[in-house]
Amino acid sequence: MSNLKEIRNRIASVSSTQQITSAMKMVSAAKLKKAQDAILQLRPYDEKLLEVITAISDCLKEDKTNIYSVERPPEKVLIVVIASNRGLCGALNISVIRKAIQMANEKYSYQLKNNNVDFFVIGKKADDILKRRKYKIVDNRNDIFHQLTFENVVKIAEEIMKKFRIGTYDRVDLVYNQFKNAGVQILMEEQYLPLKIVIKEEEIDPETVKYKTFVDFIFEPSKQLIIKEIIPKMLRIHFYKAILDSHASEHGARMTAMHKATDNAGELLKELSLEYNKARQASITKEILEIVGGAEALKT
C-alpha cells in the first residue's frame, strides 16, 4: 500500500487535472454552440443547391462548357484532408487521417506508386502525421480556423477549382467529419471534382420500369449563364460546409472527450480517497498498537 504522502500527491494531481478538463469542457461547449449554429444555418442552403443541380442534371450533361463536370482518367489526384489544429478530441483527427491514407493506398494505389497523389491539408494534426509518414503535401492552410469566414474559405476553394480547371489534377476528394451532434461525428469521403451528376429515379409501379425525374425549368436569362454561375457557387458553398462540419465536429468531440475525462477523474478521486482512508486507518492502528505495546513493556 502506498504511503500517505504519495496518495495525497496523487489526489492533488488528479484534482488539478479534473479542474482543467472541466474548464476545457465548458470552453468547448461555448464554442460548439457558435459552430453548430453556423453549420445548421448553411446546410439547408447547400442541400437545396445540390437538389437544383441534380434536377437539371440532363442540362448539365448537354452543356459541354461546364468544365467542373468533365470526367478525365484520374491520373493525378488531390486528397483534401480536413482535421483540426489541436488534439484532445478523441479519435476525430486520427480517423480522418487513416481514411485519407487508406484512400491513397487502396483507391489510388496506382497513382500513389507513380507519385501522383497529393495531399492538401487543413489542420495541423493531419499535417504533422502525414509529414512524418512521408506523404506528399502540396499545401496546408492550418491558419484558416483562426479566422473561419466564408471569404477566407472561398479563396482555398477557388484555388483547388482552378487546379482542376487547368488540368493539374483530374480528381479531387474531400475527407472530413460531418457534424451530427455533440457525441456523433460521421466520417465522410466525397468526390469534390469532377462534380458527380446523380439522376434521381422513382418507381411508379413495381411492374413498370423506372423513369427519370423530370422538372420543367424555365431558364432566365439563359440556361448556359445560370449553369455557369450556379456550379462554381455550389462548389464554393459545399467546400465551406465541409470545413464548418469539421469545425463543429472538433468542438463536439472535444466537449465529449473532456466530459468523459472529468468523470473518469472523479471516479479515480473516489478510489484514491478510499485508499487514503485505508492507509490512514492502518497507520493509526499501527501507532495505537505500538503505544499499547510500549505501555505493556513498561509494566514488566
Q: What is the pLDDT of residues 221-246, one digit of tens each?
A: 776 777 778 889 999 999 999 999 99
Question: When comparing pLDDT for 3 and 40, which is higher?
Answer: 40
Q: Given a cut of 80, is residue 199 above it in pLDDT? A: no
Question: Mean pLDDT, to the nearest integer, of 172-181?
Answer: 96
Is 89 part of the annotated catalytic residue set?
Answer: yes
Mean pLDDT of 258-273: 95
Nearest alpha-carbon partner for 257 in 64, 27, 3, 4: 27
In this predicted structure, which of 13-17, 21-25, 126-130, 285-289 has the lowest mean pLDDT?
A: 285-289
User: pLDDT tier at 57 (50, 70, 90 boundaries)?
Assistant: low
The C-alpha cell at 198 is: 446523380
pLDDT at residue 195, rounded to an integer:
86
Are β-strands 184-193 and 171-181 bridged in parallel, bridged antiparallel, or unpaired? antiparallel
CA distance 47 to 118: 29
Contacts of residue 254, defined as CB under 8 A and 6 or more positions apart, other chains included, come to 24, 28, 86, 88, 89, 90, 92
Instruction: Choose, from 7, 39, 89, 175, the residue flagged as catalytic.
Output: 89
pLDDT of residue 197: 62
Per-residue model confidence (pLDDT) at position 211: 39
* Interval 165-176 mean pLDDT: 96
- Count of residues making up the chain: 300
Q: What is the mean pLDDT of residues 129-151?
A: 94
**Confidence band of 249 (pLDDT split at 50, 70, 90):** very high
User: Which pLDDT band holds residue 251 (cuts at 50, 70, 90)?
Assistant: very high
- Residue 206 confidence (pLDDT) above 90: no
pLDDT category of residue 103 using cuts at 50, 70 and 90 = very high
Q: What are the start-end ranges of the H helices in the chain? A: 4-55, 57-62, 92-102, 109-113, 124-132, 150-165, 223-299
Distance CA 172, CA 67 (A): 14
pLDDT exceeds cutoff 60 at 213: no
pTM value?
0.84
- What mean pLDDT is predicted for residues 195-215? 49
Decide the pairing of beta strands 137-140 and 117-122: parallel
How far is the C-alpha of 5 from the C-alpha of 173, rounded, in Å?
56
Q: What SS3 class is residue 20?
A: helix
pLDDT at 123: 94
Q: In this structure, what C-alpha cell is assigned to residue 147?
A: 479566422
Which residue ranges form the domains of the chain, and what is each CATH number? 21-201+209-257 (3.40.1380.10)
**Per-residue pLDDT, 122:** 97
Confidence of residue 125 (pLDDT cuts 50, 70, 90): very high
Q: Please state which of the ranges 25-29, 75-79, 217-221, 289-293 shows the lowest mean pLDDT.
A: 217-221
Question: Residue 42 and residue 48: Cα distance in Å, rounded?
Answer: 10
